[in-house]
């Protein structure tokens, strides 16, 4: 962590007053699953002053593009969903993971400070070692055991060293109707195979992307300026085996599920054995009510099985 040394522009250097700030929200990494969940939630809430920027149009590593986006939009809030999330591949692609998860975040933080924008950045439970079975609070020492977690922690440190108007939201086991995730993978494999082995001794909490997206807008609309690190996942505790069992039960998928130990399912990157996060801070600060993980999973599977379930008239 000692190699992080970022400089930043001050608001006075660019001569911006609070009165010049826009009211827009911009989202980087909008083509990912959380970005798409934010688009859905914005539509539900009738939020119009928001611009969703996919990676191909707004690379957070390109300082010139980032600067132009800010100059054009003058955002009050910036939501960063852009990240390198290939946990196992990161063990070999260290430089790429570090550039996106650390340097890209630093780029955004630098321009956010210059424009007096508030940055909402998504991080991960993988910043924790996860070797003790207890709820992980925001002040718990972060000791990642894989490159992905390390680069995400470096991104947190870079951000906090540049600006003070930020919310870091650590989440876990994210899934939704969009993109590639555990739920969609299990549903696919459940149709293709008669038997599946799923890890039973890694414990955490699944998080529905729609719930996280809703919480992000709740934070923005609360106008509570309690900056810092927060934990958000759905309520409850599950192993990956429990998660898979619930997916198959709720979807009516018939497949034999076998519990497998981590030692029997070797991966390139190590995973925390226990990463259940304490959500007391975010609930108390913003008055959030967080759904139980299985209830949210049922909602997601219902939408996957009937995409038009929420359409008018149904």
User: Which tens digits make up the pLDDT trace of 111-129?
Assistant: 999 999 999 999 999 999 9
**pLDDT confidence bin for 308, thresholds 50/70/90:** confident
User: Which tens digits make up the pLDDT trace of 219-253?
Assistant: 999 989 999 999 999 999 999 999 999 999 999 99
The per-residue pLDDT for 309 is 61
The per-residue pLDDT for 71 is 94
Is 175 a catalytic site residue?
no
Distance of CA 117 to the CA centre of its chain: 20
> Does 309 fall in a domain?
no
| Average pLDDT in the chain | 91
- Alpha-carbon distance of 117 to 18, in angstroms, equals 10
Torsions phi, psi of 46, nearest 5?
Answer: 70, 30
The per-residue pLDDT for 314 is 39
- Alpha-carbon distance of 283 to 164, in angstroms, equals 21
User: Which tens digits make up the pLDDT trace of 252-307?
Assistant: 999 999 999 999 999 999 999 999 999 999 999 999 999 999 999 999 999 999 87
The per-residue pLDDT for 223 is 84
Q: Reply yes or no on whether the pLDDT at 15 is more than 70.
A: no
> Does 32 fall in a domain?
yes
Q: Which residues in the chain belong to E strands, given as ranges?
A: 25-28, 50-53, 77-80, 118-124, 166-171, 174-175, 195-199, 203-204, 207-208, 228-231, 238-239, 256-260
Q: Reply yes or no on whether the pLDDT at 19 is more than 60.
A: no
> Does 297 fall in a domain?
no
User: Which tens digits make up the pLDDT trace of 59-100?
Assistant: 999 999 999 999 999 999 999 999 999 999 999 999 999 999
Would you tell me the crossing angle of helices 105-115 and 63-73 to the nearest 10 degrees? Answer: 30
Work out the average pLDDT over 8-29: 54
Containing structural domain, residue 163: 25-181+206-235+275-291
The per-residue pLDDT for 1 is 33
- Alpha-carbon distance of 100 to 83, in angstroms, equals 6
The per-residue pLDDT for 197 is 96
> Does 158 fall in a domain?
yes
Would you tell me the crossing angle of helices 240-251 and 182-192 to the nearest 10 degrees? Answer: 60
- Which residue among 77, 84, 148, 230 is the active-site one? 148
The per-residue pLDDT for 88 is 97
Query: What radius of gyration, in Å, describes the C-alpha atoms of the chain?
Result: 20
CATH number of the domain at 81, please: 3.40.50.720
> Does 18 fall in a domain?
no
- Number of independent structural domains in the chain: 1
**pLDDT confidence bin for 310, thresholds 50/70/90:** low
The per-residue pLDDT for 306 is 85
Q: Is 142 helix (H, G, I), strand (E, B) or coil?
A: coil
Q: Tokens for 272?
A: 């925390």
> Does 215 fall in a domain?
yes
Q: Is 27 helix (H, G, I), strand (E, B) or coil?
A: strand
- Alpha-carbon distance of 142 to 180, in angstroms, equals 27
- Alpha-carbon distance of 186 to 181, in angstroms, equals 9
Residues in the chain: 314
Q: Reply yes or no on whether the pLDDT at 8 is more than 70.
A: no
Work out the average pLDDT over 139-154: 97
Q: Reply yes or no on whether the pLDDT at 169 is more than 90.
A: yes
Q: Is 36 helix (H, G, I), strand (E, B) or coil?
A: helix
The per-residue pLDDT for 9 is 36
Do 142 and 153 touch, CB atoms closer than 8 A? yes
CA distances from 201 to 145, 148, 263, 293, 313 (A): 16, 20, 9, 18, 44
Do 146 and 126 touch, CB atoms closer than 8 A? yes
Distance of CA 231 to the CA centre of its chain: 10
Q: Reply yes or no on whether the pLDDT at 21 is more than 50.
A: no
Map tokens 């509570």 to a residue: 224
Q: Reply yes or no on whether the pLDDT at 22 is more than 90.
A: no
11: burial class by Cβ within 10 Å (0-12, 13-18, 19+)?
A: middle
Q: Which residues contact 11 (CB under 8 A, 6 or more apart)?
A: 113, 114, 115, 116
> Does 123 fall in a domain?
yes
CA distances from 47 to 23, 129, 221, 295 (A): 11, 38, 11, 26
The per-residue pLDDT for 313 is 41
> Does 308 fall in a domain?
no
Q: Reply yes or no on whether the pLDDT at 17 is more than 50.
A: no
Work out the average pLDDT over 207-211: 98
């Amino acid at each position: 962590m000692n190699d992080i040394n970022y400089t930043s522009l001050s608001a006075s250097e660019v001569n911006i007053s609070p009165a010049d700030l826009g009211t827009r929200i911009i989202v980087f990494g909008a083509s990912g699953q959380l970005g798409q969940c934010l688009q859905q939630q914005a539509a539900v809430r009738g939020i119009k002053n928001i611009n969703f920027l996919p990676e191909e149009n707004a690379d957070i590593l390109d300082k010139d593009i980032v600067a132009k986006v800010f100059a054009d939009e003058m955002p009050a809030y910036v939501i960063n969903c852009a990240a390198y999330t290939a946990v196992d591949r990161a063990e070999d692609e260290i430089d790429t993971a570090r550039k996106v998860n650390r340097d890209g975040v630093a780029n955004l933080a630098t321009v956010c400070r210059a424009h007096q924008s508030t940055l909402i950045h998504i991080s991960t439970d993988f910043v924790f070692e996860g070797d003790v079975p207890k709820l992980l609070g925001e002040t718990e020492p972060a000791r990642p055991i894989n490159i992905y977690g390390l680069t995400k922690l470096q991104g947190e440190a870079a951000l906090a060293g540049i600006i003070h108007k930020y919310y870091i939201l650590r989440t876990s086991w994210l899934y939704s109707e969009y993109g590639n995730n555990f739920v969609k993978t299990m549903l696919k494999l459940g149709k293709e195979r008669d038997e599946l082995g799923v890890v039973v001794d890694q414990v955490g909490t699944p998080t529905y992307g729609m719930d996280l997206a809703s919480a992000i807008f709740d934070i923005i609309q609360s106008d509570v300026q309690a900056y810092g690190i927060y934990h958000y996942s759905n309520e409850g505790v599950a192993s990956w085996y429990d998660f898979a069992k619930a997916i198959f039960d709720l979807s009516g998928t018939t497949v034999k599920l076998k519990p497998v130990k981590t030692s029997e399912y070797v991966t390139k990157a190590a995973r925390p054995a226990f990463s259940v996060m304490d959500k007391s801070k975010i609930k108390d600060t913003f008055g959030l009510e967080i759904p139980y993980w299985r209830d949210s999973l049922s909602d997601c599977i219902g939408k996957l099985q009937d995409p038009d379930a929420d359409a008018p008239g149904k």
